[in-house]
């Protein structure tokens, strides 16, 4: 039987206090290294900042547009199509009943003959209509909801209540404008998400490439540190911290850019809102984007550095 000899182990430093202390020192010395070439650092951080600011700024705009459209009461109206058997006099009574509701601001009756005239004028089927021996169109009551009925949901609820009236066949909410806007913002939201993913990839590449160059520049230093017994973790650390700092700086710059844009947009938006007698004003950065920028930046920086270090550090071996 072969004799089994155990290798004597190496002493490893596992004191958490010195470990923390070394990390603190390392993070500061990485920051110091970056501050020794301020222009390069600032340029890289700004590129990262712009890449982070773009999606969060767009997200902010979409968010505001959505808020704007949901508080927009001017465009919503409800068309009440009455029963065929309802006469014009009865239709007027229905209109009067509806008009008394507190959640209705205004109502207007389009009588059967008026509806036919309008159809004749607008549809281009005038001749075909002549052939009919009776008017096929029902009377219509147009309703504008009161200001208290603010969003699309409330308008929908009002329409449902109105449709319950015996004389009313169909209550159709005319929300086309708002709905279209909703669809557009939904699409843009999706586009912003895709853009954010692409730009996150760009940040990874920027940081990764910066760190790769840094590793190349410090090639001989890495070699010598390996020679005197520096572990991979020890050699990796300053580069990871550098990536982290780049991400943090980039995040801060992104925040500044977004806030500056908000400030610049605030005046014109207020004027616009004034024109439409809307109490709308730009909302500030929502917590999601805020954390996205302030945590996403460093996380991307660290990841980018990690990728670069993983790829390039092992290639450097002392001879």
> What residue ranges bind other proteins (CB under 8 A)?
7-8, 10-13, 18-19, 22, 220-221, 223-232, 234, 317-319
Which residues contact residue 267 at a Cβ distance below 8 angstroms, ignoring those fewer than 6 apart? none
Which residues contact residue 112 at a Cβ distance below 8 angstroms, ignoring those fewer than 6 apart? 88, 91, 135, 137, 138, 139
Give least dist CB 309 to other proteins, A. 16
- Residue 95 has which token pair? 């209109």
Give least dist CB 313 to other proteins, A. 12
Closer residue to other proteins in complex, CB, 228/264: 228
Q: How many CB atoms lie within 10 A of CB 301?
A: 31
Closer residue to other proteins in complex, CB, 234/263: 234
Closer residue to other proteins in complex, CB, 147/224: 224
Count how many Cα atoms sit within 13 Å of the Cα of residue 9 in the half-sphere of its side chain.
3
Parallel/antiparallel/unpaired status of strands 168-174 and 140-145: unpaired
Give least dist CB 7 to other proteins, A. 5
Rounded-to-integer distance, Cα 104 and Cα 145, Å:
4
Rounded-to-integer distance, Cα 276 and Cα 273, Å:
5
Are the C-beta atoms of residues 270 and 65 closer than 8 Å to each other? no
Closer residue to other proteins in complex, CB, 7/127: 7
Give least dist CB 18 to other proteins, A. 6
Give least dist CB 5 to other proteins, A. 8
Closer residue to other proteins in complex, CB, 144/226: 226
Closer residue to other proteins in complex, CB, 7/102: 7
Q: How many CB atoms lie within 10 A of CB 158?
A: 21
Say whether 108 sits in a helix, a strand or coil.
strand
Give least dist CB 27 to other proteins, A. 16
Are the C-beta atoms of residues 265 and 222 closer than 8 Å to each other? no
Give least dist CB 209 to other proteins, A. 23
- Residue 221 has which token pair? 């230093």
- Residue 151 has which token pair? 């969003």
Closer residue to other proteins in complex, CB, 31/299: 31
């Amino acid at each position: 039987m072969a004799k089994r000899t155990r290798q004597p182990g190496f002493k490893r430093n596992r004191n958490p206090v010195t470990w923390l202390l070394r990390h603190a020192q390392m993070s500061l010395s990485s920051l110091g290294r970056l501050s020794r070439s301020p222009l390069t650092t600032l340029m890289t951080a700004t590129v990262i900042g712009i890449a982070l600011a773009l999606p969060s700024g767009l997200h902010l705009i979409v968010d505001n547009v959505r808020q704007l459209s949901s508080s927009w009461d001017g465009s919503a109206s409800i068309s009440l199509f009455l029963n065929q058997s309802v006469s014009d006099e009865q239709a007027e009574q229905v209109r009067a009943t509806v008009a008394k509701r507190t959640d209705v601001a205004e109502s207007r009756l389009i009588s059967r003959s008026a509806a036919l005239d309008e159809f004749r004028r607008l549809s281009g089927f005038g001749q075909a209509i002549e052939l009919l021996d009776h008017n096929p169109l029902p009377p219509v009551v147009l309703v504008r909801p009161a200001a208290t009925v603010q969003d699309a949901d409330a308008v929908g609820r009002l329409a449902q209540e109105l449709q319950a009236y015996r004389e009313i066949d169909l209550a159709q909410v005319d929300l086309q404008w708002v709905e279209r806007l909703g669809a557009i913002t939904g699409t843009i939201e999706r586009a912003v998400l895709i853009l954010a993913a692409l730009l996150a990839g760009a940040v990874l590449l920027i940081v990764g490439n910066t760190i790769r160059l840094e590793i190349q520049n410090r090639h001989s230093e890495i070699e010598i540190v390996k020679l005197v017994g520096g572990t991979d973790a020890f050699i990796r650390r300053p580069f990871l911290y550098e990536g982290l700092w780049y991400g943090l700086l980039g995040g801060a710059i992104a925040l500044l850019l977004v806030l500056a844009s908000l400030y610049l947009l605030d005046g014109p938006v207020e004027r616009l809102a004034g024109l439409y007698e809307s109490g709308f004003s730009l909302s500030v950065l929502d917590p999601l984007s805020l954390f996205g920028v302030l945590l996403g930046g460093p996380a991307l920086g660290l990841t980018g550095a990690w990728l670069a270090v993983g790829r390039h550090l092992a290639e450097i071996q002392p001879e």
